[in-house]
């Protein structure tokens, strides 16, 4: 853990550093408030010990800036003000600006150590909580079987890209894919083989998409690929590459038979002319996927507006 010490009096600073040396933490020091602010921004120490009256910038302003720069963050630094100012009114001002703790000068090393130990363990706990929060957030957005984005994550991504597409007038494409005859895989070979198929499909799709594309499991045996800044033709190429990669896969069943699988793909795109909201875009891709199934599966179909009515007329 990094500790920043800002104190202009050399004797006091030396005493602080000597006291800190028992804690086995990385210590940064300065005798100037403005330098302390620079060091803070560069190093982001978890603990700050600051004097009040210093050249460059006073401790109160330093505390104010540090707290302002951490607004909205879950991990905030522990700030200890070490100062000769110890009137109740001073303490109130300091706490109001965001100081976590006060020690008055001249300080007793044992008191500084005790307060810092509390600060360090608070910071460690906060760090662990943050890590756990991120992990659970990650898990809430990940499909446990395939490790891909789950439907919730995809919906989030769709909204982000919808905003970006509308603002930047860039094309946005969606590919929806469904494993052919998946129900019979489960029925004939069991659910373990079914799960294995879904993993093989997700690996093939991972290999087929480009680095900026978002791939996820939409539900059951359906997968969705979101392709930002990609037109219909480019998206159809990605879909075709995924289809080919998947059709090459061989899967060993539990009773040692070899099975081949395929998937059908529907592609839809939003651009200057066709600008539906993202859920409508997904419906269009789903429509094209239905056409791919209808035409015999293991193929890519693109969504063409009015195709349904043309078919009805034909
Ligand atoms: Mg001073």
pLDDT digits (tens, 9 = 90+) for 193-233: 899 999 999 999 999 999 999 999 999 999 999 999 999 99
Show me where the domains of the chain are located. Answer: 2-140, 151-313
Least confident of 5-14, 91-100, 227-236, 299-308: 299-308
Encode burial over 271-290: b for 16+ CB neighbours within 10 A, e otherwise: eeebebebeebbbbbbbbbe
Q: How far is the CA of 54 from the centre of ligand 1 (A)?
A: 5
The Cα 64–Cα 132 span in angstroms is 29
Q: Does residue 38 have an active-site annotation?
A: no
pLDDT exceeds cutoff 50 at 314 = no
Q: How far is the CA of 52 from the centre of ligand 1 (A)?
A: 6
Contacts of 50 (CB under 8 A, 6+ apart): 4, 5, 6, 7, 33, 36, 59, 62, 63, 79, 80, 81, 82
Please name which of 203, 214, 199 lies closest in space to residue 164, comparing C-alpha atoms. 214
One of 7, 111, 221, 280 is an active-site residue; which one?
Answer: 221
pLDDT tier, 164 (very low <50, low <70, confident <90, very high otherwise): confident
Average model confidence (pLDDT) across the chain: 92
253 or 93: which leads in pLDDT: 93
Q: How far is the CA of 120 from the centre of ligand 1 (A)?
A: 24
Q: How far is the CA of 4 from the centre of ligand 1 (A)?
A: 15
Q: Is there a common fold for 2-140 and 151-313? A: no
Contact 235, 175 (CB under 8 A): yes
Q: Which residues pair with 301 in a beta bridge?
A: 266
Output the CA–CA distances (angstroms, integers) from residue 31 to 23, 34, 49, in the order listed: 21, 9, 12
| CATH number assigned to the domain with residue range 2-140, chosen from the 4 options 3.30.310.50, 3.40.50.2300, 3.40.718.10, 3.40.630.30 | 3.40.50.2300
pTM: 0.71
pLDDT exceeds cutoff 50 at 272 = yes
Q: How far is the CA of 62 from the centre of ligand 1 (A)?
A: 13
Least confident of 85-99, 140-154, 211-225: 85-99
Q: How far is the CA of 78 from the centre of ligand 1 (A)?
A: 20
At 186 the pLDDT is: 87
Least confident of 59-68, 181-190, 272-281: 272-281
Q: What is the mean pLDDT of residues 75-92?
A: 91
Q: How far is the CA of 113 from the centre of ligand 1 (A)?
A: 20
48 or 161: which leads in pLDDT: 48
pLDDT tier, 163 (very low <50, low <70, confident <90, very high otherwise): confident
pLDDT exceeds cutoff 90 at 257 = no
pLDDT exceeds cutoff 80 at 276 = no
The Cα 67–Cα 158 span in angstroms is 34
Q: Which two tokens stand for residue 247?
A: 């059709």
Peptide bond between residue 106 and the one before it cis (omega within 30 degrees of 0): yes
Output the CA–CA distances (angstroms, integers) from residue 142 to 52, 153, 159, 229, in the order listed: 48, 7, 17, 24
Least confident of 3-7, 122-126, 161-165, 234-238: 161-165
Q: What is the mean pLDDT of residues 134-142?
A: 94
At 119 the pLDDT is: 94
At 310 the pLDDT is: 58
pLDDT tier, 273 (very low <50, low <70, confident <90, very high otherwise): low
Helix axis angle for 182-189 and 191-208, nearest 10°, is 140
At 312 the pLDDT is: 54
Q: What is the mean pLDDT of residues 153-157?
A: 94
At 256 the pLDDT is: 82
CA 255 to chain centre: 41
| CATH number assigned to the domain with residue range 151-313, chosen from the 4 options 3.30.70.270, 3.40.50.720, 2.102.10.10, 3.40.50.300 | 3.30.70.270
State what percent of residues in the chain have pLDDT above 90: 78
Q: How far is the CA of 115 from the centre of ligand 1 (A)?
A: 20
């Amino acid at each position: 853990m990094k500790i920043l010490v800002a104190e202009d009096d050399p004797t006091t600073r030396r005493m602080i550093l000597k006291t800190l040396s028992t804690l086995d933490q990385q210590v940064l020091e300065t005798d100037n408030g403005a330098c302390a602010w620079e060091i803070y921004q560069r190093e982001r120490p978890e603990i700050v010990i600051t004097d009040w009256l210093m050249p460059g910038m006073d401790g109160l302003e330093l505390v104010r800036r540090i707290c302002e720069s951490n607004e909205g963050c879950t991990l905030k630094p522990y700030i200890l003000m070490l100062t000769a100012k110890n009137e109740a009114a001073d303490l109130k001002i300091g706490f109001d600006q965001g100081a976590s703790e006060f020690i008055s000068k001249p300080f007793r090393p044992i008191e500084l150590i005790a307060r810092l130990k509390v600060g360090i363990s608070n910071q460690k706990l906060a760090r662990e909580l943050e890590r756990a929060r991120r992990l659970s957030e990650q898990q809430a957005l990940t499909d446990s079987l395939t490790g891909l984005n789950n439907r919730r994550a995809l919906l989030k991504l769709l909204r982000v890209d919808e905003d970006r597409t509308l603002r930047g007038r860039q094309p946005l494409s969606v590919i929806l894919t469904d494993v052919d005859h998946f129900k019979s895989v489960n029925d004939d070979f069991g659910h373990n083989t079914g799960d294995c198929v879904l993993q093989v499909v997700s690996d093939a799709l991972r290999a087929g998409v480009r680095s900026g594309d978002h791939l996820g499991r939409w539900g059951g045996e359906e997968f969705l690929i979101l392709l930002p800044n990609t037109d219909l033709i480019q998206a159809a190429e990605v879909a075709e590459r995924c289809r080919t990669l998947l059709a090459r896969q061989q899967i060993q069943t539990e009773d040692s038979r070899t099975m081949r699988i395929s998937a059908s793909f529907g592609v839809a795109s939003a651009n200057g002319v066709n600008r539906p909201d993202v859920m409508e875009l997904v419906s269009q891709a789903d429509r094209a996927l239905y056409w791919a199934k209808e035409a015999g599966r293991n193929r890519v179909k693109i969504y063409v507006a009015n195709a349904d009515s043309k078919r009805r007329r034909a």
